[in-house]
Structure 1
Amino acid sequence: MNHADHSLTIVPAAAVAEALRSLGTASKEIVEDIYVKAALGQLVNPDSLFLRPDDTRRERIIALPAYVAGESEAMGVKWISSFPENLGLGLPRASALIALNDPRTGFPTAVLEGAQISGHRTALSAAVGAEALRAGDRAPARIAVIGTGYISRTTLEVFAGLGWSCDHLVVFDVDQERARDFAARSGQFAAGLAGDAVAAGSLREAVEDADVVLFATTAVVPHLSESRWFKHNAVVLHMSLRDLTPEAMAGAVHVVDDVAHALREKTSLALAVEQGTVERDGILPVGDFLRGAAKPDRERRAVYSPFGLGSLDIALAQLVLDRSRDAEGVVSVPGFACTS
């Protein structure tokens, strides 16, 4: 940052997308590093703040502040909205911005389009968790995807980019047409991932016999109560956090990004702990697997429920900013901050 003019850099969607494409494995390494730090209690990552304009509706906006220490020091906040009814308007469900601050002075330094950064880090989180819980095996026979929105698409794209493959991709959505369209297009955004891709006629049909199950829905109330639908050793990537009832959570190995964060806001895991179907002391941070303090049990079902750490967004946003300062469309506003 140029402290003399206190400028603010604005990074729009196209520049963010180009920067994310250029990162290669650097972004995955950031996610892994932050998860290890989370497991060791080394993050400055306050609780997320939820704004719900109307408690009877699904709309919400979340603030995720964080400070990331180290060589690539970063500080800021993600402000992300989830308005599911946007889909009926032909708009994305989520939109976001990320504001970064100078760690030395606290002055604002940048505003970046944040939905892509958020989606990318969520997809990387899913991939890191799946790889850790499958002991590095990136070739399951069958992957099931529940929900056909941006997060599912981005996650499969990231999986393909990291060298994952499967014989069968099975897709389910409450909107059958969306499921069929998603399956048909999956070869375009996740080239090389699946031998074949089909839409399932029911949720049960999708998850049965799947080695990896990705939940990325807009559910606010748990709706799947049958743990017997899953393979005994399936890895369930519960990214939407509120799909499984406490009964469906029973008997599994439970893994999160941060235990305290994951047990908030009526998540399936929080309800399961409250009802006694899951023991809090048995919940493990994914960072323990990454640093070798825990080993995956390939004979038990694992449910991975990362709540979402602002540290990931802020660290990734700083990397995107560093890569995109001279990109087309990036604007610098000199004298943005009041210094008198």
Structure 2
Amino acid sequence: MTEFHIIGGEFIGDYLSKHHDVVTDIVKNTYLHHHNGNTENPDSYFLRFRDSPSDRIIALPSAIYPEETAGIKWIASFPRNVEHNLQRASAVLILNSLATGYPYACLESSLISANRTAASAVLGAYWMNRQSRTTPSIGFVGAGVIARTIGNFFVRQEWKINDIVVFDQHTDSADHLVNYLCDAGQHAYTASLSDVLACDIVIFVTTASTPYIETAFQPHQKVLNISLRDISPDVILASQNICDDIEHCLKASTSPHLAEQRSQGRDFIDGTLAGLMTGQFQVREDKPIIFSPFGLGVLDLALGKYLCQQAIATGNALTVPGFFAETSRW
């Protein structure tokens, strides 16, 4: 009998808040599966709207063979939501069986997306920082949900940080993030954009659509280019660069994509985070290093399947009777 389950955000949020190391391990292992060719992760598909060009809904289909699961994340990004104190992003994840193709679960996925993004960012910071969880300063450019989740991962993974510096054009958002981090025991404060850009680890989590960072970073700095479009091509070209997937990252007018167009080549990219983790190249001493993760659907899929299993095992999945009216041919 084919069953269909719904897993809501209340269970997902509670579980994720207690299992940061599990999430990071899932993200790390999924990157390695992808690196080894054990996934399908085609291009994302963008639905845009004629009267609201900043809004979009994105479909990210994917499959992981070791997990025997396929699926699709359907995530909306409506930046103007923040003007009404609504979160910018909302999402669902559908899981499908590789044996029959039948969908078997629907999960609230904005929390999954935020947590896999944060785990990816902090994993990248760890490897760019030569597998050390100590840094003098971290700077956030942008202070929304993703910034808060990344900050939480740094805290939960017990990074030793002297200062966390925050800049956001919306000063109330910056204040909220600072208060959140201070409540978590960190020394955090708001500052100018230039002060944030001087930090040892700089994290871009904005809704910028075109580059505005024109000043090169210093060789000791590590940059998490999460929002992908803040940094000018010249700054990218003056840095060591890694991606989660090169083909995916060099699309859609991301900063690395613009750098490819400027340089007419891809020599400025050393490889992927999985390549760094497996020793295919090393962090250089003479250049800053930038990690640009496009955001792979396989990460949502792997984390979503794990959460589905946990929800079913603990009685926190809603099984929908009769969701499939018919499954037999005759």
Instruction: Give TM-score, length-normalised by structure 1.
Output: 0.91
Deviations, residues 99-133 of structure 1 (Å, cap 9, x unaligned): 00112101010000000000000000001111111
Q: Which residue number in structure 2 is paired with residue 100 of structure 1?
A: 95
Does residue 306 of structure 2 align to residue 319 of structure 1? Answer: yes
Q: Which residue number in structure 2 is paired with residue 199 of structure 1?
A: 190
Deviations, residues 240-274 of structure 1 (Å, cap 9, x unaligned): 00001112212101000000000011101100110
* Same amino acid, percent of matched pairs: 34
Deviations, residues 280-311 of structure 1 (Å, cap 9, x unaligned): 46341110111122222244200100001000
Q: Which residue number in structure 2 is paired with residue 155 of structure 1?
A: 150
| Greater RCO, 1 or 2 (C-alpha within 8 Å, sep 6+) | 1
**Are the structure 2 counterparts of residues 41 and 329 from structure 1 closer, same or farther at C-alpha, using a change threshold of 3 Å?**
closer
Map 1:1-340; keep pairs closer than 5 Å: 4=1, 6-54=2-50, 57-70=53-66, 72-188=67-183, 191-192=184-185, 194=186, 196-200=187-191, 202-208=192-198, 210-227=199-216, 230-276=217-263, 279-280=266-267, 282-325=269-312, 327=314, 330-337=317-324, 338-339=326-327, 340=329
Q: Which moved more, 1:95-104 or 1:288-297?
A: 288-297
Shift of 1:92: 0.5
Shift of 1:44: 1.1
Shift of 1:55: 7.6
CA distance in 1, matches of 2:177, 2:123: 23
Aligned pairs, number: 327
- Amino acid of the structure 1 residue aligned with 2:112: I
Q: Secondary structure at the match of 1:335?
A: coil
Q: Secondary structure at the match of 1:325?
A: helix
**Are the structure 2 counterparts of residues 238 and 281 from structure 1 closer, same or farther at C-alpha, using a change threshold of 3 Å?**
closer
Shift of 1:24: 4.3
CA contact (8 A) 2:219 2:285 kept: no
RMSD after superposition: 1.8
Instruction: Give TM-score, length-normalised by structure 2.
Output: 0.94
Unaligned runs of 5+ in 1: none
**Are the structure 2 counterparts of residues 135 and 310 from structure 1 closer, same or farther at C-alpha, using a change threshold of 3 Å?**
same
CA distance in 2, matches of 1:203, 1:277: 31
- Amino acid of the structure 2 residue aligned with 1:29: D
